[in-house]
Structure 1
Amino acid sequence: MLLVGSYVALSKPLAAVFPVFLLAWLRFGIGTLAMLGWLRKPPAELPLTRPTRGLLFLQSLLGNFLFTIFMVYGVSLTSASSAGVIMASIPACVALMSWRFLGEQVPARTWLAVACAVAGILLFALGATGSAPSAAGAAGLGYALLVAASICEAAYSVIGKKLTAALSARRITSLINLWGFALATPAGLWWAWRFDFAAVPAGMWLLLLFYALAACIWTVWLWMTGLQVVPAAQGGVFTVLLPLSAALVGVLVLDERLTPWQWLAFGIALAGVLLATLPASPGNTPGNTPGNTLGNSQARPSKQP
């Protein structure tokens, strides 16, 4: 989650150099080349079933392709620190999806966390008022895109927990990246034909390499490996590091400035994260709830990380 927050923030300077769809295509292309060996099916792994293939495609579409497009466009229109505040809503989104699609029980404090996330986003947007109408309109679109990215990331986490019961972390990482590359290729080739690659500074190529490896390999493999042995409710605790990392990189590295109202919004958003992710009582954890797919899917972890 620290790596996710950092590459979310550092996508802003990259989006100023590369068109968004070209950036996504290059990211997935670098990831595919780096993980060619991971695409091979391990001998002990069962053949992919049709439902598993569907989940892999859906996870890549939402958590890889659409998350990348929404996130990069959103950060380019706003700031890395605003992405940190808005993406603090991810744990609440995970809870809502678990309740809606997996039948999990959602405690009252989680609904309070949802309210905190919404309040933090609205307060952050109000703290940005006073700019020119055109800039305010662009920021509003950016906030909406970042909310959409948060929903995609939450779906990615929920689907990922189900996939770890059937596939290794390496296979999931490589297969969803390959789907992302396929989805990004048509628009990526169109932009690549018109783009002047010689004008890109050397430092941006190094930043692109870090972004691609972090976004496609390191973060996905670490997260999927953790989900094989950690219940989803406990794993959600670590999402607090994403908004913290994104906001800190924005302030400390990209020299962004927050107003007092926006700092207050950040505090409210983080309070929502804590409410959504604090451990429940031992007898009422999501992992012990009957019919809880996320809590029980770890019963058949993959043998190969």
Structure 2
Amino acid sequence: MSEIKGKFFLLLAFSLAGTSVVTARMLAEKLNSFTITAVSLGLLLLCLLPVYANKTAKTIRLLKITDWRMLLLQALFGIFLFRIFLLFGVHLTSTVEAGILTGAAPAITALLAWTFLKEPLSGKTILGIACTIAGIALLQGLNLQGVGFSRDHFWGNALILCAAASESTFNVIARKQGAKGCSTRLPMQPMVQMLLVSAIAFVFCLFPALFEQPLPSIQAIGREEWAALVWYGLVVTALAFIFYYAGVQRCDAYTIAAFSGMMPLTSMLLSVSLFSERIGYVQWAGGILIISSMLLIGESQKPQEAKKCSLGLSRKNNKIF
């Protein structure tokens, strides 16, 4: 029963995370990238920080320099760089391709873990990485007819891959942090950790947002854009994080990797329904290859070791659901 709940939470988490690409596309038409990130995170902090003010203050007093360093890295790669690359990228490429390309994160994570953490690559992991490379090649226009696309389109896809690489770097940092016995140096509640990371990311983007002259553009947006900003902050960041953490407590690592395929799938389906974007055979083939790579990389992990790590984490942290 617990595992079924975990899979349900992961399904919700990655489905909500998949809406980030579509939300970014909607907001990028009216607001600049740093402004979007600053306002959405500001709304998150404004709504949730008063509720968890006491717990957050108690946690801050217990944090050491190494803990602050980890929080800074998580904010930099997990939120700030990921969102900035994503928001700049959706200006130049299609929402469908942007969503699919975010699915390259597990393959990039595996390569980074092999390079920096010296983790071995299994046959399925290597095959998954190869599928990711082939899928990206198809999405970059390398089809059988040799039809290419504009330079802006190419750089748009490159920026989306940078966003996926930022997420992968965040995953490797978290993995390195918990390498010894799958433990964590941050014994804090997930909501408190999310608020601290979001606050740091808010500070990162606040100064560059001022150069975008945000006030006139913010005053010009309508209800749809404000609803998208609230969704981007409270749902895509906060709620998806809660569901993700609840799923992590109940599922193995390979199950988590498998369900991460919901993120590009959700983004692709929403792009077709909301923006009437067309999906060609090449895009379908590239998307299938990238989603298949996530399944292969997820299955390549040893279930017993992953389960041991998951159970260890669940004992050290309070359950959310």
* Aligned ranges 1:217-232 → 2 under 5 Å: 217-232=238-253
- Determine the structure 1 residue equivalent to 2:201: 180
Please name the residue that 1:171 is paired with. Answer: 192
Q: What amino acid sits opposite 2:113 in the alignment? A: S
* 1:72 paired to 2:93: no
Structure 1 pair 226/25, CA: closer, same or farther in 2 (3 Å)? same
Q: Could you tell me which of 264, 268, 289 is aligned with 1:268?
A: 289
Alignment of 1:46-85 (within 5 A): 47-85=62-100
2:212 aligns with 191
Q: CA RMSD in A?
A: 2.7
* AA aligned opposite 2:295: L
Q: Go from structure 1 to structure 2 and tell me whether the alpha carbon gap of 1:181 and 1:44 turns closer, same or farther (over 3 Å shift).
A: closer
Opposite residue 169 of structure 2, the aligned amino acid is A
Q: How many residues align?
A: 296
2:36 to 1, 14, 23: 23
Indicate which of 87, 90, 100 corresponds to 2:105: 90
Separation in 1, partners of 2:212, 2:153: 25
User: In the TM superposition, what are the counterparts of 1:149-298 in structure 2 within 5 Å?
Assistant: 149-160=163-174, 162=178, 163=184, 166-193=187-214, 195-278=216-299, 280=301, 282=303, 285-286=305-306, 298=313
1:7 aligns with 2:28: no
Q: Which of 46, 55, 78 is the equivalent residue of 1:33?
A: 46
Match of 1:118 in 2: 133
Aligned to 2:124: 109
TM-score, scaled to structure 2: 0.82
Q: CA deviation at 1:101?
A: 3.6
Q: Retained in 1: the 8 A contact 2:107–2:128?
A: yes
Letter of the aligned partner of 1:29 in structure 2?
G
Alpha-carbon contact 2:26-2:228 (below 8 Å) kept = no
Cα offsets for 1:84-134 (capped at 9, x unmatched):
2211211212223333344433311111111111110111111697576xx
Superposition deviation, residue 279 in structure 1 = 6.1
SS in structure 1 at match of 2:91: helix
Q: For each residue in 1:167-200, what CA deviation from the matched residue of structure 2 results, as whole angstroms up to 9, or x when unmatched?
A: 2111111010000110011012232456333321
Structure 1: tracts of 5 or more residues without a match: 289-293
The 2-side partners of 1:141 and 1:207 are apart by: 25
Work out the CA distance in 1 between the residues paired with 2:213 and 2:90.
22
Name stretches of at least 5 consecutive residues in structure 2 with no aligned partner.
1-13, 179-183
Amino acid at match of 1:80: T
Distance in structure 1 (CA, Å) of the matches to 2:84 and 2:57: 35
SS in 2 for 1:191: coil
Cα distance between partner residues in 2 of 1:301 and 1:68: 30
Give the match for residue 291 of structure 1.
Answer: none
Q: Counterparts of 1:130 and 1:104 in 2: how far apart (Å)?
A: 38
For 1:234 and 1:255, the matched residues in 2 are separated by: 32
Q: Give the match for residue 140 of structure 1.
A: 154
Q: Scaled by the length of structure 1, what TM-score is found? A: 0.86
CA–CA distance in 1 between the matches of 2:43 and 2:222? 18
